Amino acid sequence: MTLELHATPDEVMRAVDALQTYGNASQVTEKILFGLKLALEECASNIVNHSLRRNARQTFRVTLERVGNSMILELRDRGPEFDPTQVPVMGKEASHEGRPSGGLGVHLARHYTDEMRYRRECGENVLYLTKRLDASARPEVTLLQDTITETKPQLDKTMPLEIKIRPNVGGPHPEAVTVTLNGSLDTSTAPELLRRLSTALDGPVKDLVFDLAHLKFITSAGLAVFAVARNKLKERGGQPAFVNMQPQIKEVFDIMKALPPNVKIFQDQAELDSYLAVRQRSYQEGK
């Protein structure tokens, strides 16, 4: 399957949707698909944001192919020469505070694929991402020759991000705000979450609680939003907390060492309420 895409975040997510559809038809497991979609999103976002500068008149190409028991993703663009395989590997000792700001998406792509190869060919950057599949999986592919240009077939759509922000005005924890996220936090949806959080943090909020029970997908763009919120809260003596974080989402946080040790992750609401009650007492005693 080959897609001709314009250099916009929405088109990146169209490629992710196509990979979901292609992977389902090829009987790729959801666990592997989650990682492949993340790798594709990160590498395609790098093309859109850095190589093509979000110029919607520019295009790039993504090809999805299953060869035997491997999935191969090929990305091509005509931007300035850039080899992502030369980005330094993020060491295990790197912390959330001490990492370099660049290369985070490449780090995720490396983690979720078995091989990254790059070459410069006829003025194009060409990147190959390869993931080996379970040898028992069915190798047949039904979509290999499909090409998508102007027409858009029915794809398995990545869920948009539904954001609900609930200040606990008059509740048991008045200085806490709960942010419930449902869907996909990615390059296309992260800016809206950042905007909504900026509005919420205009008030005297000291604790932001992110309920991630229904968050299905997250990328480095989403992690960056959480980092911004954490830094704003830190300035006023507050901090974020997370509840109902699903295993695949927590894995991304862990890979990126995205949270300092003092940020709490709670399994359920009761555990969270106990924590917030202690926080509330400390605020009252400090007044």
Kindly report, residue by residue over 211-250, the tens digit of the pLDDT.
999 999 999 999 999 999 999 999 988 889 999 999 999 9
Which of 203, 209, 12 lies closest to 105, judged by CA? 12
190 close to 225: Cβ distance less than 8 angstroms: yes
CA pair distance 150, 147, nearest whole angstrom: 10
**Which amino acid is located at 57 in the chain?**
R
Domain residue extents for the chain:
2-148, 162-286
Helix (H) or strand (E) holding 67: strand 59-67
24: pLDDT strictly greater than 90: yes
Kindly report, residue by residue over 75-131, the tens digit of the pLDDT.
999 999 999 999 998 765 554 454 444 578 999 999 999 999 999 999 999 999 999
The total of other beta-carbon atoms located within 10 Å of residue 277's CB is 12
CA pair distance 55, 39, nearest whole angstrom: 22
Q: Which residues contact 154 (CB under 8 A, 6 or more apart)?
A: 21
Region 2-148: CATH code: 3.30.565.10
**Which amino acid is located at 153 in the chain?**
P
CA pair distance 59, 50, nearest whole angstrom: 13
Question: Residue range 144-153: average pLDDT?
Answer: 45
CA pair distance 209, 177, nearest whole angstrom: 6
CA pair distance 11, 13, nearest whole angstrom: 5
Q: What is the mean pLDDT of the chain?
A: 88
Q: Which CATH architecture has domain 162-286?
A: 2-Layer Sandwich (3.30)
